[in-house]
Chain A
Amino acid sequence: MNGLILTSLGLPLLGFILIFLSSTNEKKIAAISFWCSHAMGFSIIALLVLWALGGYQNHEYQWLTLYETDDYSFPLLFYLDRVGAAFLFCTWAIFSIIVKYCRVYLHREAGYKRFFLTIFSFVFGLNLVILSGSIDILFAGWEIVGIASFLLIAFYRHRVQPIRNALRAYTIYRFCDIGLLLGSWMSHMMFHESQHFSQLADLFNNPSMPPAGYGSLLLVSTLILIAASGKSAQFPFCFWLPRAMEGPTPSSAIFYGALSVHLGVFLLLRTTPIWSYHYLTRASVFIIGLLTVIVANISEKTQSNIKGKIAYSSITQVGFMFMELALGLETLVLVHFLGNAFLRCYQLLVSPSIVVHLLRVEGSADADFYIQNNAKFQFLPASLRNTLPEVLQNTLYVFSLQEGNLELLVRSILWTPLKGIGAFINKTNPWLKLLFSVTSLAIIASIIIVSGATLKYLALPVSVFMVLASLSAFSQKHSPFSVWNAIGLSSTLAGVAIWFINPSALFDVIIFASGIIPAWALGIVVLAKLLKNNNFTQDPFTYRAFSETQPKLSLLLFLSFLGLVGFPISPAFLGEDLLLSHASSHDPWFALPITIAFVINGIAAARVFQRLCLGRPLEVNIPEIDILT
């Protein structure tokens, strides 16, 4: 059974690697994906059968420990229970259908290889999330799913709009990673060694002695809830899901119709003991679900495009799932999840048929073609419906049209202030900045020396600089080098701060740096090569399409980007976790700035990648020799 867990995880990864190594020959890629998806299917089915024969026992498996010190360990931990089984089953069914579907659907498409690479990495990430035994592994999978999502939304990189929407979805993902990152840190702090999902339920079994205080439980629940609502497009993040429907239809179906959108539900199911312990958090899950249902349901009414309509229907149903979860109806949620996933997936796949359907089937003379009648307020009694003041009708329409204004809300609360600060920093003279940081450091250092306190308080200004550096990267638009340097600086400062806090953590800081520094350096080199004959400041806002004109360098830049954001292929991922664990064991306050910095760095780096590597190449100012005279 343990072997089967590993093969279920390994086969998609194997598929990914094989496709990566293969040529762009369509037949070869199709054959690889066929065999890998089927082998994965067999392995999943065998796993589920074995598990069922074993009497549906919850199963945990610790493969090996990646890294261990006295008070820290990072085991590769896997876990299977009925929640995981339901999700795994669904993944298998939908993935094998989609692979078969895409074999023909994507035939002759430019980017055939890219597409299969991305969906294999997606499924690998998804299986990792589903089978994860601890929140750290789950986070690794979560990140992979996020990047795969980014790449698939931007699949048609010639057009500006998919690129923009890809970044939009990625920013929401990244923001919600704050929730998960801090959540994983808090679970380290609260449950120490026992962050196993398998033991979570036991921890809370003793009502007289909760494993943590009310406040910290509330906090960790809120963090988890943020992560879950971001990934599942729940209130107030509903708006990104319809806009993510930019890739080929089957990829939208598998991601946003079927699987990815339910990951929030999965996270909540996994962490039920934590957030259901108190009524307040339960109520907030319920309220988020309820608000989502209201907003999404009203927004769905005025979607004049079919994919947007399906997206909002899906969000509504996920909102219901949140409510059901809050009421403790776990089995119902699982049934609901399966139903919604399959239905939405199918709806999206056949969505191009809507014209034929409405005009030829609905439109056939049975008079129920709703093009003619205004269905608004049909739920009200007829007498009331007609007397309803127009202003209310208009208001409702505007609410629906603007999808509850959620995007504006999120943007004005989250991004605008951050951008403002960043822009201010970028405007200041660099010498002034240096002067300011040196003097403030000197002042604090002298205070420390005078008062005889430990060096540890130096971490305070350092972490402030770290966040400021991130913000500067975030709002820097004119020079990719400055962005990369600011990110590198910010990450380095994070290491320095930890070292101040805990001088014995030097080795762990080095692990972290061993991921960040090479990525940083690589990025700078690649950027310099890419922009050699290119005056960036002249047109900072054009998409430069280097992934088409310079594919190799672009791939390197992408790797550097992954390294900088602590993607689970780089030691920085482990390092990030280590830094957080040090923070938690010494100074919990430090977790917040470091997380904010990580998240913002990720967004800034993604934007540089997006500006440089995506877009449509253009022949500008080529002297035209053949001029007809």
Chain B
Amino acid sequence: MVYRDCAQQTIETSNQKLQNHDFNLDTALANIAHWLPAQGPIKDFIHHNTLHAVQHHPFHEGIAIAAKIFGARSYLPLTDYQNMFHQGRITRSAIDWAIEHSGGTPFEQDNFRNTLFEDDNTGHYPPTSLANHGIRTTWLTQLEIDLNAMVHPILFRLLGNFLDQGISRWNLSKTGEHFWKCIVRLAQNSLLPLYPFNDAAVHDLLSKKPEDVILYCLDKIVGDEQLYEQYLLEMLLAHPGWSGIVHVIEQKPNMLLARREISLKEMIAVECAIELAFLHKKKGEYFKSIAATPHKKGISLLKSTHLKPTIPLHLRIWHEAMEWSLHSELLLALKTLPSANKKRLTTPKAQALFCIDDRECSLRRHLEEINPAIETFGAAGFFGIDFFYQGLDDAYPVAQCPNIITPKHLIKESNSASHSGDKTKPKKLTHMHFTAHSMFRGWLYTQTLGIGYAVKMAWDVFRPGSKLPNIRALSEVEHHSHLHLLRESDELTPDGFLLGFSYTEMADRLSGLFRNIGLTDNFSPLIVIVAHGSSSVNNPHFAAYDCGACSGKPGAPNARAFAWMANHKAVRAILREQGIDIPHETRFIAALHNTSRDEITYFDPHLLEQSPVPNLPAFEESMSTALQRNAKERSRWFELAPKSESIETTHAHVKERATSIFEPRPEYNHSNNLYAIVGRRQLTRDLFMDRRAFLHSYDPTTDELGDIMARILSAVIPVCGGINLEYLFSRIDNSVYGAGTKLPHNVIGLLGVANGVEGDLRTGLPAQMIEVHQPARLLIVIEQSCDIVDKTIAKIGALKEWLDNEWIRVVTCHPDSHELFLYSAKGWEAIKLPKDSKAPVATSSLDIIAGQTQTIPVHQFIRSHA
């Protein structure tokens, strides 16, 4: 991703900096910027490694550095691990494994064994850090000014109003106007003074350029060039949310709907000017600068914290032991699995292609359990087709592919029914409470309609779920619309897109996907492409609930596009030339799985009516039972769900959640994601993995050069790894890396959420999404031999960093022998699992989940038919 380049650049620059003390603003800004969160506006939530800034360090070192910078916890509290041990979720052998891999001397290792179970209450709270205990604390301790408390509300207001995407009625920015110019305009050309820019000295500053203002202010405020960079970093980390979003917008201005011209430099200039103004107001023109005040002992300095991370070794061992316990559960089950049946099954009755998403893991299992004649596949949920999509009702096009790809094509939805063109719809009375009113209309409405809201409110609270929400989700398209997929001319649209795909481009994309998942022959008569999305109400983080491989959108347009292309004769003809022969009778159907309600919608029913698909009714029936069981399995996590055994009651409850305005947990999304398995379905078909696995289909026999695997990993590592690490860090320190509890969130400018009216934007995931998550790193299991995977790893470029620094773990599982090898930067290590242990076995999913409220180890199924 973009930010990684940035991170690597910094290693070099920070080394240079050690030799050269002269302060260069641009270099310093580049250094600082990579510490900022990289989260964009909330409308498209893209999971990424929260600590991308330290990704070039090994995992444990990286988080230790981050802890010293951000003031966050690095691990769970010690007692949590100890409790997990007592519950049997951390095994003795895993502790031994972790200690062996800790790299200590035998004496130290013994020492750890003896002290692991001692009580220790100190590790619970975050360490002293640059963000909280740096040189800027001087203001508070020495000069007794709470500078943040004075500056932040003003800065946040200006930023919020400047960047606002549609909440306020009056725009602050004019088209094309830069942030700095805008502030200067307000401060210089207004009859009322813009507080605190009315301070004489600061007012004069405004005519200068931002960089000069920064240098001038730093000279006054800090006074020592060696501390400039640290001061600026601390200043930005005091409000990471706003700094981060400014940086993101500077890098990718297209992320905003209404474009804004802003840069980190301008924001810093404004903030420095405000700080200086307040210092003048409180302490007069000649106040003591930071360099002139005596330093207190124990103040964090950038250089020292940067170079000397301190890793709490006990916690590190516990954490690794937890991860290894969980990882070995899968490895054990894989190892003892009977060798894969080489022969493919006879052509199945139906095939279904799902998203790689861990939430589909259980649905696929249920579907196959109910109807063994169905074969399922997994692939990244954009199904290999990357494009911008603009639905009928969408104001703007959105990217329907992982964040790493920038699509060149635009697909528009058009209305095939006759009433197209009638776009002016009357304002609905039900939405009146959202619309901004003029003063007197507001008075009239409150007088007359207000009391009606008593009824509405009571209804929504006491009878939730009795009706579907009025808000249709993006891409939950109406049945009769039509995707404009075929490109008619090569002319670019005004925004520089190609409108639609040519047949060759379509065939290329399809064959790419078919080869990725190893489906090149044996097509069944019915192939269902199941995208997923999630519906919830009253949820500003809705985008984090949708498909991660579609940049936080429902994948419906991709599934529809895929089905349309794959059904098209011209495309099939080209595919046939490329060696993929899709039988004439095979039909592709697109569908959307709603993961919060566990419902499915099949698209283009008018086509189905014209020419029915014989196998579809049976598939639909199995699917609806599978969805009910899936809802049952999901609801074991919901404490307030009815405890009744009835599958219908639980399904009804799950649906109710998605429409209740008071339900902050419509679903638990990717909570507890842990494994990513790239391989044939035979490998995982008989495993119960508790919805914890991202499953990507792959045929190891067709990939001698490792090219296909490289393609798959280049999507799996950033998407699944990003999801996994975001959940991990949001869980480990929800108040620093996560967004805190959802309950007091206030939507700011459609950019993000903040606590209260004048708070900083919160990045990461809210507590209600991650509270049941077991924060363990992702384990990617690749069904392939080590030699080929070595070839693959040579081809994935910068992504290798994730593996070498152990931000994710990779294990290969040999396609024939199921021998397991663990990757590390030093080479492959054969995995030894305790000989006497065996994976638990069961006969059906429902038996396993009955009465369980915690995570469940991987089980093997004993199937009578197999």
> How far is A374 from B169 in the complex, measured between Cα atoms in Å?
8
> How far is A318 from B149 in the complex, measured between Cα atoms in Å?
29
A245 within 8 A of B: yes
**Residue contact B195 to A619, C-beta cutoff 8 Å:** no
A209 within 8 A of B: no
B311 within 8 A of A: yes
B173 to chain A, nearest CB (A): 10
- Return chain B residues, CB-CB under 8 Å to A356: 471, 537, 539-540, 542
Contact of A365 among B194, B423, B663 (CB under 8 A): B423
User: Known interface pairs A104-B660, A339-B446. Does A375 touch B755 (Cβ–Cβ under 8 Å)?
Assistant: no
B472 within 8 A of A: yes
- Return chain A residues, CB-CB under 8 Å to B771: 108
**Residue contact B542 to A317, C-beta cutoff 8 Å:** no
- Return chain A residues, CB-CB under 8 Å to B742: 352
> How far is A359 from B553 in the complex, measured between Cα atoms in Å?
13
**Residue contact A619 to B126, C-beta cutoff 8 Å:** yes
A165 within 8 A of B: yes
**Residue contact B473 to A401, C-beta cutoff 8 Å:** no
**Residue contact B446 to A336, C-beta cutoff 8 Å:** yes
Closest to B743 in A: A248
- Return chain A residues, CB-CB under 8 Å to B449: 339, 343
**Residue contact A375 to B170, C-beta cutoff 8 Å:** yes
User: Known interface pairs A293-B439, A359-B395, A622-B122. Does A371 touch B166 (Cβ–Cβ under 8 Å)?
Assistant: yes
B404 within 8 A of A: no
A408 to chain B, nearest CB (A): 7
- Return chain B residues, CB-CB under 8 Å to A586: none
Contact of B639 among A107, A162, A313, A374 (CB under 8 A): A107
**Residue contact B431 to A361, C-beta cutoff 8 Å:** yes
A423 to chain B, nearest CB (A): 11
A34 within 8 A of B: no
**Residue contact A394 to B190, C-beta cutoff 8 Å:** yes
Mask: chain B, 426-448; 1 = CB below 8 Å from A; 0 = not: 00000101111111001101111
Contact of B195 among A302, A363, A402, A620 (CB under 8 A): A402
B310 within 8 A of A: yes
> How far is A362 from B434 in the complex, measured between Cα atoms in Å?
9
- Return chain B residues, CB-CB under 8 Å to A355: 42-43, 540, 542, 747, 750
Within 8 A of B (CB), among A246-300: 246-250, 252, 293, 297, 300
A625 to chain B, nearest CB (A): 9
**Residue contact B446 to A369, C-beta cutoff 8 Å:** no
**Residue contact B439 to A395, C-beta cutoff 8 Å:** no
- Return chain B residues, CB-CB under 8 Å to A160: 149
**Residue contact A346 to B471, C-beta cutoff 8 Å:** no
Contact of A301 among B169, B443, B639, B757 (CB under 8 A): B169
Contact of B457 among A332, A346, A357, A358 (CB under 8 A): A346
Contact of B540 among A158, A345, A352, A399 (CB under 8 A): A352
- Return chain A residues, CB-CB under 8 Å to B191: 391-392, 394-395
Find the residue from B167, B186, B438 having the highest chain A CB count within 10 A. Answer: B167
* A interface bracket (residues with beta carbon within 8 Å of B): 35 or more
> How far is A165 from B757 in the complex, measured between Cα atoms in Å?
10
**Residue contact B749 to A304, C-beta cutoff 8 Å:** yes
> How far is A391 from B144 in the complex, measured between Cα atoms in Å?
37
A33 within 8 A of B: no
**Residue contact A619 to B395, C-beta cutoff 8 Å:** no
Contact of B756 among A243, A346, A539 (CB under 8 A): A243
**Residue contact A306 to B167, C-beta cutoff 8 Å:** yes
User: Known interface pairs A303-B167, A360-B471, A397-B170. Does A365 touch B743 (Cβ–Cβ under 8 Å)?
Assistant: no
> How far is A252 from B434 in the complex, measured between Cα atoms in Å?
18
B644 within 8 A of A: no
A586 to chain B, nearest CB (A): 43
- Return chain B residues, CB-CB under 8 Å to A249: 743-745
User: Known interface pairs A97-B461, A304-B160. Does A354 touch B434 (Cβ–Cβ under 8 Å)?
Assistant: yes
> How far is A248 from B662 in the complex, measured between Cα atoms in Å?
12
**Residue contact B454 to A93, C-beta cutoff 8 Å:** yes
B242 to chain A, nearest CB (A): 12
**Residue contact B311 to A402, C-beta cutoff 8 Å:** no
**Residue contact A107 to B755, C-beta cutoff 8 Å:** no
**Residue contact B446 to A242, C-beta cutoff 8 Å:** no
B793 within 8 A of A: no
**Residue contact A350 to B313, C-beta cutoff 8 Å:** no
**Residue contact A402 to B192, C-beta cutoff 8 Å:** yes
Mask: chain B, 753-787; 1 = CB below 8 Å from A; 0 = not: 11111110000000010010000000000000000
- Return chain A residues, CB-CB under 8 Å to B472: 360
**Residue contact A302 to B170, C-beta cutoff 8 Å:** yes
Mask: chain A, 141-162; 1 = CB below 8 Å from B; 0 = not: 0000000000000011011111
B748 within 8 A of A: yes
**Residue contact B457 to A304, C-beta cutoff 8 Å:** no
**Residue contact B126 to A397, C-beta cutoff 8 Å:** no
A540 to chain B, nearest CB (A): 8
**Residue contact B439 to A357, C-beta cutoff 8 Å:** no
> How far is A247 from B759 in the complex, measured between Cα atoms in Å?
12
- Return chain B residues, CB-CB under 8 Å to A242: 757
**Residue contact B161 to A302, C-beta cutoff 8 Å:** yes
Contact of A105 among B396, B474, B662 (CB under 8 A): B662
Contact of A350 among B161, B661, B735 (CB under 8 A): B661
- Return chain B residues, CB-CB under 8 Å to A108: 639, 768, 771
> How far is A398 from B187 in the complex, measured between Cα atoms in Å?
9
Partner-B contacts on A (CB < 8 A): 93, 97, 100-102, 104-109, 155-156, 158-162, 164-165, 242-243, 245-250, 252, 293, 297, 300-309, 311, 313, 316-317, 320, 332, 335-336, 338-343, 345-347, 349-367, 369-372, 374-376, 379, 390-392, 394-395, 397-402, 405, 408, 477, 539-541, 616-622, 624, 626-628
Pick the 8 closest A-B CB pairs, nearest first.
A339-B450, A364-B393, A248-B743, A371-B166, A626-B313, A394-B190, A619-B125, A363-B395
* 27 intermolecular pairs with C-beta atoms under 8 Å apart: A107-B640, A160-B149, A161-B758, A246-B756, A248-B741, A248-B744, A304-B168, A305-B167, A307-B756, A316-B443, A317-B443, A339-B446, A339-B453, A343-B446, A355-B42, A356-B537, A359-B43, A360-B472, A361-B470, A363-B395, A371-B257, A374-B170, A376-B170, A394-B191, A398-B194, A408-B195, A541-B141
Q: A316-B442, A339-B450, A350-B538 are in contact. List 9 more A-B contacts (CB 8 A).
A: A242-B757, A245-B744, A305-B748, A335-B447, A353-B539, A370-B166, A371-B165, A379-B438, A400-B170
